[in-house]
Each structure stands twice: as C-alpha cells, then as structure tokens.
Structure 1
Amino acid sequence: MAATRVLIVEDEEALATLLDYNLTKEKFAVTLAADGDEGLLKIEEEPPDVVILDWMLPKTSGIEVCRRIRSKPETRNIPIIMLTARSEEADRIRGLETGADDYLTKPFSTKELIARVRAVLRRIRPGLAEDKVQYGDIEIDRVSHRVMRGEKEIHLGPTEFRLLDHLIQHPGRVFSREQLLNAVWGSDVFVEVRTVDVHIGRLRKALNKFKQGDPIRTVRSAGYALDAE
C-alpha cells in the first residue's frame, strides 16, 4: 500500500522542518510548500491525501487556499487540518466554516497533530486510516477490538470502546455530553445525557485498573477530554 501523501503549507521554516521530520518518521510521504500560491500549485500537480494548512501565509492566505480547495470538484474532498495562532472561538469557527475539517492552535505537540491527521483520515478517507491508533500509552486496535495501556490489556464493553475511539481521535479536545451522545450513540437514538457519565465512569475505571493514572479530564460545565500525556 502506498504511503499516505501529506502536503504541509507552512511559511515558518523551523516548524515545517519539524513536521516533515515527524510525519516522515511515521511513514507519511511529505511535501512542503512555503506559501499559499506554492501550496495551490502542488495540489494541482498532485492532489495529496491530507493538507496541513497554516492560516497566516504569504501571498494567498490559508483561508483562501482552503476555499479554493473546496471549490474544485477534483480537490473538494481532500481533508484539511488548519494550523492557527488564533485561539478566539470566532476565528476557529470561521476556519471550519470555510471548509477545514479540523484545526490546531499553535503551539501544539507533533504527537497531537499526527493523531489528528489519522483521525481525519479515518472519518473522511477510511481506506487510508490505520487499524491501530496510539496516544500516550493507550493503543486501540480496531480490527481485533483490543485496547492496550502500556503492556496491559484493557477490557472494554462496546460502548466504552466507541467512546475511547472517539476521544482518541481528538486528543485534548473537550466534548460536551451531547456531542458524545451524537458521536457514539447517534443523533437518532434517544439516550439520557447522564448515560454518558455512567459510561465515562466505566471507561475511567477500566483504563485505571492497573493504577496507571486517569487519562480522562472532566471539565466542569463543559464535558470530557482525553489527556493521556
């Protein structure tokens, strides 16, 4: 199977080099572009499987690059992860509304970026996604339905497995109970919101069975996040 092609459109040379190194180490085929115009040209020459796109770029901005990718039938389905120094909610929403599939606010860890790349591939281009996903010391194997934490196998029920699978796709991101209900149970199923708390409790207990620490963070009045590191 050919390596997944990732185009990084980033004008900060040090960051681009760092991302190139880490993604290549994870067996991705990486191409770099230093500005929006070069990024669009490379996409036209050979459409990648994923675009990692900086918001603030010389020449054509990241937002405009995103718009143009989405405007063409041959590129509109390419997953886009936007990198931004803008942490305001309105800016993040604007990026998502323009067509980005995910976003990361600088500074971020390369491990989180790689986890987001794999998550967006699984959602949008499942044929390119890996069967195993790891974050911190937690690893999910979707084929065998097994979960490992360090050297220990963790036994989860089907709902707890789906919950963990969803959280591990978005490490560090806080999800409300309603968002988790829609993602794990489905929007057409009526389930009490507090049911999420019960299953999160079971998931917590299972993941901490061997006293390795609780990787799930509760954010008061907001929801839950996976912080394995």
Structure 2
Amino acid sequence: MKKIVIVDDEIYIRALIKETLEDLEEVIIFTADDGEKGIQLIEEKKPDLVLLDLVLPIYNGYEVLNHITENDLDKDMKVFLLTAKGQDKDRVTGLKLGADYYVTKPFDPEFLLQKVCEVLNLNLN
C-alpha cells in the first residue's frame, strides 16, 4: 500500500484532495491540519508522498520540509508543495529545500491526480 499524508489547515482543501485521490487502489490517506501534526504523521507513517501547504499553524510548510530533509525522512518520499504562495521566490525556496513539485492554489484536481499517479507509479482507474 502507498501512503499519502496531506498537511493543510484548510478543511475544504484536505477534503478536495482526499476526494480526488480516494478512488486510487492501494492508497491510504492520512491528514493533518497543522505543521506539528504533519511532522508527527510523517515520522509515524513514513509516507510515500506528502502533500504540504506552506501557510500552516505551529510549523509552516518550509519548517516541515526542512524537518523532513534534515532527518533523512525524504529518501523514499516525494513532497508536493500545494500553496497559494505563487511568487518565484517561494517556488525557488521550496524546491531548494527539497520539494519535488510546487503546485499553486487553486489547482486542477485532475492535474494533481495525474502527478500523484505518475510519482507513485499508480494506474488511473
């Protein structure tokens, strides 16, 4: 089973992502609504993919991403930053810190589904 952790403080974004991905076979989805809970889930579940917002309570997405890379949790893990922060400097910072993709909100759920399937080597049903 592939594991995905969604870390976003906006409940409707978490719900949209979960609904978009829920029909994928062999995928388990976990969610967190702040950076601290996100780090705990990432350490506990060791997901294959993290979908991470940048603007989060407690620890922001950059801090979560930094924790992932500093603790070598990213060896078999991909990280997508999903954020409303669309400036080039934000994108560059996220990618330099170790993110694999940077997707700005609002995003196309179908695009996200395709990218997730591509990264996790899953077939679309």
Fold match, TM over 0.5?
A: yes
Report the AA paired with residue 107 of structure 1. P
Larger Rg, first or second structure (1 or 2): 1
* Residue deviations 1:14-47 (CA, integer Å, cap 9, x gap): 1101111221122321100000000001111121
Q: What is residue 108 of structure 2 aligned with on the other side?
A: 109
CA apart distance, 1:54 = 0.3
- Residue of structure 2 in register with 1:33 after alignment: 32
Report the equivalent of 1:97. Answer: 96
What is the CA deviation profile of residues 150-209 of structure 1, one whole-angstrom value per residue up to 9, with x for unaligned ones? xxxxxxxxxxxxxxxxxxxxxxxxxxxxxxxxxxxxxxxxxxxxxxxxxxxxxxxxxxxx
Q: How far apart are 1:133 and its partner, in Å? A: 5.8
Corresponding residue number in structure 1 for 2:18:
20
| CA deviations over 1:42-85 (Å, ceiling 9, x no partner) | 11112111000001101100011001101113x12210000111
What is the deviation of 1:118? Answer: 2.3
Alignment of 1:1-229 (within 5 A): 2=1, 4-27=2-25, 28-73=27-72, 75-77=73-75, 78-121=77-120, 129-130=121-122, 132=123
* 1:171 match: none
| SS of corresponding position for 1:59 | coil
CA contact (8 A) 1:102 1:120 kept: no
Give 4+ residue runs of structure 1 displaced > 6 Å after superposition.
none
**Structure 1 CA distance, aligned partners of 2:104 and 2:60?**
17
Ranked by relative contact order (alpha carbons within 8 Å, sequence separation 6 or more), the top structure is 2
Percent identity (aligned) = 35
| 5+ long unaligned stretches in structure 2 | none
Aligned-pair distance for 1:99? 0.7
- Looking at structure 2, the residues matched to 18 and 86 of structure 1 have their Cα atoms a distance apart, in angstroms, of 19
CA distance in 1, matches of 2:11, 2:124: 29
Aligned Cα RMSD in Å? 1.5
1:87 counterpart SS class: coil
Partner Cα separation in structure 1 for residue 102 and residue 116 of structure 2: 10
- Normalised by the size of structure 2, how large is the TM-score? 0.91
| Number of residue pairs matched by the alignment | 123
Distance 1:76 1:31 in 2: 17
Q: Distance in 1 between matches of 2:78 and 2:91?
A: 16
Structure 1 stretches lacking a partner, 5+ long:
122-128, 135-229
